[in-house]
Structure 1
């Protein structure tokens, strides 16, 4: 018995030693070091991991295919070559556009999780792509800015209504603004529909949104304009032939360049500057950013309006829609087309929530049989009886019009696209939009591009109202490519000008023979480049240069936007939450 006990004890000790060695080898294994493509696990990036990762270790199978540690690389030509390849892979793969990563790494592709408003991301991405088209195409061929038959020579097919939306940059800006109003108000409005129990959460959401909005908009611009200042200091910007275009000024030394950049940035991002969409202010290091002060101003308007509408509880959403629509009309009539778009986004968000509730609960005039304590006081009044009769009449009207809903949505969509096609840079908007001119409020005739902004605002509001009313029309914007465009939309907006006016204009002059003559005129905030075409090439040479530059520009723009998104823009939300946590005392 004693011999058996000693043998058993010896076996246990040997097994314990083996387990210790195995645990030591696992914890010290180089396979536990994440690859350069592995996202950091924080509150913002957890969504990039599949659901199964919650139950399986992320690196559970890494020991089967991971290369040995670089410390164990044999000092032979083959070993050193393999080490060099590993280093180059670690450096170069992150520079590839993100859609290509799963082709060159072992990380599986994770399907995107869609939500109720994912189509807004796709719509924003498509609008950003249209802005890119605008700044490329119209710089090559400026007559595209005019409408069809604005003059006797404006007879190009791409000037026709709806077709010109392919490059209608200002229409995309109007869509940006109404999407922002929708996206910023959707969550607090959805909480308000849950009743008084969520009122504290609504204030928390609004407080967080107001605190982080400035950082969300301006931190990417700091990085983007800094890069632009470096490009300007090396004189890499080239003026655009055939039209004037603001490009950054160049200073003799890098120190002078950065001092000027910082001063311009401090003026541009000051949050309390008076903002008017009819008199936008540009940024010397990226003129396309004139929309960002308006975006910040409109965001504050959205938060204030949502807070003001929190007390409008009558009508299960109809009260908010009617009051919000009144503010939209008031703003539009008073010349503030930009404010009308942001507030219109709130109305569309509330309308979308009402539709979702109706799909779950029945008819659009559906009311719960039990009355609230506030409504019970009016149970026996004539007003309550009249309201009940009105609800029955509206319900009957809704049932009668339901078969015509697809036709109504189609007409609404076509009307919105027609209005978004309005061209306002020439004396006449063109043959097809000329009948709208008498209906333009007189106030808009006194400001720059006023009639165009008025009708673009109407078109953008009608477009989002139509899309929010039809899941079928939303579906194309949830496809993979529009969703990817939505991811990189802000980065695309920031970096595309830097590519088009450095590499793009260089190739334009080199390959087409169209050369711009530079004249510098001080415009008060830097230098304004006025350009005159001095050489007219043959049509064949021009088209070859145009197509070649288009391919190169598009590839470089998308690559730069993707890298900027992963390196800066995609991390800003997490940085903002970190700052909010620090100042709010919730830890780091």
Structure 2
């Protein structure tokens, strides 16, 4: 009996040991886990030639254009921040008050101060991309049920997809301020403690998320660059509603109504951004009709087809020229005093409260039109680096500001580029690594040297935000929508 008991005990101990060993092994991260983790943390920029070597979707060039536009926004905010004294000159036209700098030349100016032009391009591209799939269904006919499903899903997911990354990135930024003894940033003002900061953040975001305010822009001081997110949401809703309302209309009627709305929002009321979205819708309509060989034989379309080669080049030139508009003019009289803009200023409608957006809207529509219909321009924006920027464009737009305030401000101060209003906390960095400020305006040595550090960190942070915040927010919105279905 004792032997039996001992034997049973030994058997039990052995099984328990095997059980514990198997459980421990199951809790140990698998090799695939570490491989996937390393892969997700590896900077994608080192793999772009391989990642984007395969076939691209037929509108990939617009992703590339969006990426380049996001990079222009990155540039303009750094140029503005690092050149506070010269900013009034950089924001005005070439030759204004006798100032003649390379960075202010027409077209060239876009590479330095093209942020507002880039935002208009964002909105035109959004109008195109959001409407293209529903328009395909409308053109196919007899797909009312499918169209309703697509629009229902898109409208449900849009706010979640746009606002979730804003919530995540601003919360992280705000939290960093209160680590340890605190991390100072020039803007916005910080609350006395973390709890008060969270309360202020919640209150401000609540106001920011309400898009139906009667007037003014919804500012979120935790990242001022997010002003365009509510604008993007409103423009998206106008596109979806327009598609639904005109889904049973003839092509001619739909084109006429949308064109009329574009004029209304540009000339009658202050709705330039809606004109951008609706112009994108029209461009998608004509692109699909041309692709399928079903373009109507209207007289004005026949004229455009006949002189397409010349007109597209004129559209590109005019778009880039108008996109070079001095965006910093405080009122229209300043614009009139800028060489080359006197007569153009008279075309700006009085309904446009911020007059700069009129020509930026026209410029964006002309430029996107030229890109859509010009093969060599499409190939340019299908290049791997443009596709890479396109993939991270939303995150780049959201994180470049916080990185500017947390890191770049300190590097600029360390290399000799200081600003007024910096408190003692950041002035400790002043001239700790002085570099020469020689060079053309906007391309000074100490400014460019800082970006050897700032740019890689910003791109990598954008990659991480894309993988860990942006893409999961897309899946989260899809998950929530599926959960609501009957």
TM-score normalized by structure 2?
Answer: 0.83
Q: Does 1:165 align with 2:163?
A: no
* Corresponding residue for residue 18 of structure 2: none
Deviations 1:326-357 (A, max 9, x none): 11111100221111111111111101111111
Select which of 448, 451, 459 maps to 1:558: 459
Q: Tell me the residue number matched to 1:149.
A: 95
Q: 1:475 offset after TM fit, Å?
A: 1.7
CA contact (8 A) 1:238 1:506 kept: no
Residue 501 of structure 1 deviates from its aligned partner by: 1.2
Tell me the equivalent position of 1:47: none
Q: Deviations over 1:416-447 (max 9, x none)?
A: 11111111322226212222012222333xx3
The more displaced of 285-294 and 461-470 is 461-470
Per-residue CA shift, 1:498-554, capped at 9, x if unaligned? 1111110111111115242359xxxxxxxxxxxxx9xx9974499442122122111
Taking the aligned partners of 2:358 and 2:35, their CA distance within structure 1 comes to 46
Match of 1:338 among 273, 282, 298: 273
Q: Distance in 2 between matches of 1:110 and 1:413?
A: 26
Mapped partners of 1:219, 1:481: distance in 2: 27
- Tell me if the contact between 2:266 and 2:351 (Cα under 8 Å) persists in the aligned partners: no
Aligned to 2:67: 125
**Structure 2: 5+ residue runs without aligned partners?**
1-25, 424-429
Q: State yes or no: 1:296 paired with 2:296.
A: no
Alignment of 1:41-440 (within 5 A): 90=37, 94-100=40-46, 111-141=53-83, 142=87, 143-152=89-98, 154-166=99-111, 167-196=113-142, 198-234=143-179, 235-239=182-186, 247-274=187-214, 279-313=216-250, 317-334=251-268, 335-358=270-293, 364-365=295-296, 391=297, 394=299, 398=302, 404-426=307-329, 427-428=334-335, 430-440=338-348
TM-score (norm 1): 0.69
Give the match's secondary structure for 1:442. Answer: coil
Shift of 1:468: 2.4
Moved more, 186-195 or 549-558: 549-558
Match of 1:459 in 2: 363
Q: What CA RMSD, in Å, does the superposition of the two structures yield over aligned residues?
A: 2.9
* Cα distance between partner residues in 2 of 1:578 and 1:347: 31
> Which structure's relative contact order is higher, taking Cα pairs within 8 Å and 6+ residues apart?
2
SS at match of 1:350: helix
Distance 1:151 1:304 in 2: 47
Tell me by how many angstroms 1:237 deviates.
4.2
Tell whether the 8 Å contact from 1:333 to 1:441 is kept in structure 2 after alignment.
yes
Contact 1:121/1:486 (8 A) holds in 2? yes
Contact 2:130 2:236 in 1 (8 A): yes
Q: How many residues align?
A: 437
Query: Partners in 2 of 1:490 and 1:473 — Cα distance?
Result: 22
